[in-house]
Chains A and B, each alone.
Chain A
Amino acid sequence: MSATNKTATTHAPFVSRRKFLRGTGGVTLGLPLLDAFSRNLKAQAAEPGYAIFLCEENGVQQAPGFGPEPERFWPSKTGAMTTASLAADTGRAMSVLSAHAEMLTAVRGASFSFPGNGCGHSGGGNQVLTAHKVSPDLEKNKSLGMGESVDHFISKALVNREPLALYAGPKYGYINDHISHRGAKDVIIGENNPWIAYSKIVGMTGGDQAAQKLLATRRKSINDLLRGEVKELLARKDLSKDDRTRLDLHFTAIREIELKLVTEFTPAKVEEFKAINGQHRTDPNRLKVVSLQHDLIVFALASGHSRVAFLQVGDGTDGISFTIDGVKLPSFHHISHRINSDGSDGTPIDGADLMHHKIDRLRLQSFAELLTKMQATKLPTGSLLDLGYVVWTNQIADGHHQYKNVPYLVAGKAGGYLKPGQFLDLPKFTNNKLLNTLANAAGVRRAGGGLVEDLGDSSNPKGIIPQMLASG
Chain B
Amino acid sequence: MKQGTNTLRISWVALALLAGCAGNVDDGTGGGGDGPRGGDNAGGTAGDGPQGGSGGVNGEPAPELVPSSSRVARLSHTQWENTTRDLLFLPQKANLTATFTGDAIIGQFDNGGGTLRVTDGLFTDYQLAAETLANRVANDAALRGKILPADLPTDATMRAKAFVTAFGRRAFRRPLSDAEITRYANLFAQGNTLYGTTDPLISGVRAVLEAMLQSPYFLYRTELNPGSGKPTPLSSHEIAARLSYAISNSMPDGPLATAADEGKLGATVEGRRAIAEHATRLLATPAGREMVDDFHKQLFRLRTYDGITKNVAKVPEFTAGIGADMRTEALKFTGEVFFESKAGVRDMLLSPVSFVNQKLAKIYGLSGTFDNSFKRVTLDNTQRMGLLTLSGFLASNAHADEVDSIHRGVFVHKHILCTNLPPPAENVPPVPNSGGKTNRERVNAHTGKGTCGASCHATIINPAGFAFEQYDAIGKHRTMENGAPVDASGTLEIDGVEKTWTDALGFIKAAAETDAAHRCFGNAWLEYLQGRSPVDNDTGLLDRTTKMSRGDNASLSEVVLRIVTSDAFVNRAAE
A454 to B216, CA, bound (A): 37
Number of A-B contacts (CB under 8 A): 199
A219 to B74, CA, bound (A): 22
Asked whether A140 and B407 contact (CB < 8 A) given A218-B194, A221-B187, A256-B120, the answer is no
Which of B72, B104, B407 interacts with A187 by CB under 8 Å? B104
Is B207 an interface position by the 8 A CB rule?
yes
Is B311 an interface position by the 8 A CB rule?
yes
Question: Which residues of chain B have C-beta atoms less than 8 A from A228's C-beta?
Answer: 183
Which of B104, B119, B184 interacts with A253 by CB under 8 Å? B119
Residues of A56-73 contacting chain B, CB below 8 A: none
A140 to B402, CA, bound (A): 22
Is A466 an interface position by the 8 A CB rule?
no
Q: Shortest beta-carbon distance, A188 to chain B, in Å?
A: 7
A343 to B210, CA, bound (A): 49
Asked if A400 and B187 sit within 8 Å, CB to CB, the answer is no
Is B122 an interface position by the 8 A CB rule?
yes
Give chain B's interface residue range (CB within 8 Å of chain A): 35 or more
Q: Shortest beta-carbon distance, A70 to chain B, in Å?
A: 19
Asked if A222 and B102 sit within 8 Å, CB to CB, the answer is no
Which of A115, A116, A331, A346 interacts with B309 by CB under 8 Å? A331
A347 to B431, CA, bound (A): 10
Asked if B216 and A247 sit within 8 Å, CB to CB, the answer is yes
Asked if A186 and B120 sit within 8 Å, CB to CB, the answer is no
A252 to B121, CA, bound (A): 11
Question: Which residues of chain A have C-beta atoms less than 8 A from B105's C-beta?
Answer: 139
Asked whether A118 and B423 contact (CB < 8 A) given A172-B307, A345-B439, the answer is yes
Asked if A346 and B399 sit within 8 Å, CB to CB, the answer is yes
Is A354 an interface position by the 8 A CB rule?
no
Q: Name which residue of chain A comes closest to B123, CB basis.
A: A253
Asked if A196 and B99 sit within 8 Å, CB to CB, the answer is yes
Q: Name which residue of chain A comes closest to B575, CB basis.
A: A238
Asked whether A193 and B108 contact (CB < 8 A) given A240-B68, A345-B446, A346-B430, the answer is no
Question: Could you give, for residues 205-241 of chain B, a 1 whenever the CB lies within 8 Å of some chain A CB and a 0 otherwise?
Answer: 0010011001111000010101000000000000000
Which of B71, B216, B430, B431 interacts with A240 by CB under 8 Å? B71
Q: Shortest beta-carbon distance, A119 to chain B, in Å?
A: 8
Asked whether A346 and B400 contact (CB < 8 A) given A115-B426, A139-B105, A221-B194, the answer is yes
Residues of B60-104 contacting chain A, CB below 8 A: 68, 70-72, 74, 99, 101-104
List 23 contacting pairs A-B, 8 Å CB cutoff, sorted by A: A115-B426, A138-B423, A173-B304, A189-B102, A189-B119, A191-B121, A226-B211, A226-B214, A226-B216, A228-B183, A238-B71, A240-B70, A242-B70, A246-B72, A247-B72, A247-B216, A250-B117, A260-B124, A337-B430, A345-B399, A348-B433, A400-B427, A403-B426
Since A199-B128, A200-B125, A247-B216 are in contact, a sample of 13 more A-B pairs with Cβ atoms closer than 8 Å, ordered by chain A residue number, is A115-B423, A118-B423, A161-B120, A186-B104, A219-B127, A225-B211, A226-B211, A236-B224, A246-B118, A253-B118, A338-B430, A347-B401, A401-B426
Instruction: Point out residues on A near B: beta carbons under 8 Å.
Output: 115-118, 120, 123, 136, 138-141, 144, 161-162, 165, 171-174, 176-177, 185-189, 191, 193, 196, 199-200, 203, 214, 217-219, 221-222, 225-226, 228-230, 233, 236, 238-240, 242-243, 246-247, 249-250, 252-254, 256-257, 260, 319, 331, 334, 337-348, 400-403
